[in-house]
Amino acid sequence: MIIILKQQANETKVKALIEEIQQQGMQTHYSQGSDVTIIGLVGDTSRVDEDKLRANDVVADVRRISEPYKAANRRFHPNDTHITVGGHTIGEGFFHVMAGPCSVESEEQLCTVAQSVKRSGATFLRGGAFKPRTSPYSFQGLEADGLMLLREARRLTGLPIVTEIMSEAQLDEFADVDILQVGARNMQNFRLLKALGHTDKPVLLKRGMSATIEEWLMSAEYIMAGGNEKVILCERGVRTFETMIRNNLDISAVPLLKKQSHLPVIIDPSHAAGIAWMVEPLSRAAIAAGADGLMIEVHNNPKAALCDGAQSLNLDQFAEVMKEVQRRAAFEGKIMD
């Protein structure tokens, strides 16, 4: 980080600033040029408050040259993170498909879908019990009954469950959920992120629909700063000017995240496209780009789905997509178990 000082800055105030920075555990390098005078900060600058520095009357500008996230940064954690959950390993070298309905609707629906996706090769069951819908008049999920059905489907199939948590007040209710999903709309629910940081639960953190990659990694940082390093990033498409698809899948996020971070990266082609037939080509792209898995919406009768029917695959379509996914993931040398 570099602090650019104002011309003719008061020397006593500059000295006080340097001392303050050093007291925070950083080294400082003062360099006076003919036009500009700068202070270079060396050390862990992730906790430095840039706004506070800018407010200092000797400071003209502050520039970051390293990323503001530390725990999620590959620079400080060169090895890939692997997360073990329900006997499966998630992370580089492995490939998992989390499949299931957008929302849990009934015992018959969930158990039919769960058994079928398991037969097709999915290793996790997804399903929303609490649904963050754009309209308060839309189906909000079966809530606690939905969680009960997810437990029932897990007992029946052995598939670990992934479901969305919307508030820190739900942590006890979600205690036996295998992976806690933080949805796009909650990516910056910082109280929730902080609370998740104090658990040891794997968290699938979806990208906010208009979030930059840095903002997304800072949300991961919130969880990790609390001590929970089990974070899985899930790209689910971002909002652009395009209207023919629901969101734009940011495929470049995969190699970028893999370079910047050590966390596992999953692609959700269902919410990205919003169109069922596009799930297969986008899944292929995800594998080619280096993703560690997919999250795919599957329904036994998409036409009658209470949520996201247009993007849901039926059971046979999912089975077909899985054949292609297995073939391509094997080609990339991924282990799928």
State the minimum distance, in angstroms, from the CB of residue 214 to Mn ion: 26
Q: Is 184 a binder of ligand PEP (CB under 6 A)?
A: yes
Binding-residue total with ligand PEP (CB under 6 A): 8
State the minimum distance, in angstroms, from the CB of residue 109 to ligand PEP: 15
d(CA 240, CA 32): 45
* Size of the chain, expressed as the number of residues it contains: 337
Segment interacting with ligand PEP (CB under 6 A) among 23-31, 181-189, 212-220, 253-261 = 181-189
State the minimum distance, in angstroms, from the CB of residue 163 to ligand PEP: 9
State the minimum distance, in angstroms, from the CB of residue 326 to ligand PEP: 23
d(CA 88, CA 230): 13
Question: Whose Cβ is closer to Mn ion: residue 21's or residue 321's?
Answer: 321
Question: Whose Cβ is closer to ligand PEP: residue 102's or residue 294's?
Answer: 102
* Binding to ligand PEP in span 200-229, by CB under 6 A: 206
d(CA 148, CA 154): 10
- Residue nearest ligand PEP by beta-carbon distance: 183
Question: Whose Cβ is closer to ligand PEP: residue 234's or residue 289's?
Answer: 234
Residues 6+ apart with CB under 8 A from 37: 4, 5, 7, 9, 30, 31
| CA dist list (Å): 304 to 109, 126, 301, 310 | 11, 18, 6, 10
Residue 184's binding partner out of ligand PEP, Mn ion, none, with CB under 5 to 8 Å set by partner kind = ligand PEP
Residue 118's binding partner out of Mn ion, ligand PEP, none, with CB under 5 to 8 Å set by partner kind = none
Binding-residue total with Mn ion (CB under 5 A): 2
CA 306 to chain centre: 25
How many CB atoms lie under 10 A from the CB of residue 311? 26
State the minimum distance, in angstroms, from the CB of residue 185 to ligand PEP: 6
Residue 289's binding partner out of ligand PEP, Mn ion, none, with CB under 5 to 8 Å set by partner kind = none
Q: Is 102 a binder of Mn ion (CB under 5 A)?
A: yes
Cβ contact 141:128 at 8 Å: yes
**Interface with ligand PEP (CB under 6 A), residue from 91, 183, 269, 293:** 183
d(CA 240, CA 256): 19
Buried b (16+ CB within 10 A) or exposed e, 169-203: ebbeebeebbbbbbbbebbebeebbebbbebebbb
Q: Is 308 a binder of Mn ion (CB under 5 A)?
A: yes
Residue 329's closest CA among 96, 148, 110, 152?
Answer: 96
For residue 61, count CB atoms less than 10 angstroms from its CB and return exposed for 0-12, middle for 13-18, buried for 19 or more: middle
Cβ contact 214:68 at 8 Å: yes
3-state SS, residue 291: coil
From residue 89 to residue 118, the character string flagging contacts with ligand PEP as x (rule: CB under 6 A) and all else as - is: -------------x----------------
Segment interacting with ligand PEP (CB under 6 A) among 39-47, 78-86, 111-119, 179-187 = 179-187
- Backbone angle region of 158, left / alpha / beta, with phi > 0 → left and psi within -120 to 50 → alpha: left
From residue 160 to residue 179, the character string flagging contacts with Mn ion as x (rule: CB under 5 A) and all else as - is: --------------------
Which residues contact Mn ion (rule: CB under 5 A)? 102, 308
Which residues contact ligand PEP (rule: CB under 6 A)? 102, 128, 183-185, 206, 236, 271
